[in-house]
Structure 1
Amino acid sequence: MSKFMFFDFRCQKCGEKFAGFVKPDIRITPCNCGGEGRRLISSPTIALSGTDPAFTTAYDKWARVQQNKRKIDAKHYANHGEDKAR
């Protein structure tokens, strides 16, 4: 059984662009107007984890977030001991 994925489609009849939740092998899906929606080639979504110093802004943000988490954990530990349940 193939997993379902979101793909962008454009109707050949009305020109509407819409998303469809379909199997990866589906290239055409019906539009609300009755026309055929053909699958579009879209740019991929890229998420930088922030751990690569080559991407300095992402890395700096990641480092700040991690530092803030450590401060919160240290404050919680100081107030409540080893109990991490919040």
Structure 2
Amino acid sequence: NLKLQSIGLHRGHDQVVIRQPTRAEGFVAFYLKEGRVIAADCVNAILEFNVAKRLVAENIHIDANILANPETNLKTLASQVHQDG
């Protein structure tokens, strides 16, 4: 009963950030290249997938520790990073 959703191509990544699940049976693997999110694999993480699509599409640079922290609200983070440019 797992749902896998992927966005972007992880080829050429230089870092993988695993974000612990908001639900016990899910997680997100973010693939970064030079600090920018280039792809993500989301397992049972529908809300995170929606934000991951934006992070990948906008080639957003994010600190890996902040991205990995399950206490970080990804939606808010994506909006703040976009506004800060």
Q: Do they fold alike, i.e. is TM over 0.5? A: no
With normalisation by structure 2, the TM-score equals 0.25
- Relative to its length, the structure with more strand (as a share) is 2
Which has the higher Rg, Structure 1 or Structure 2? 1
* TM superposition score normalised by structure 1: 0.25
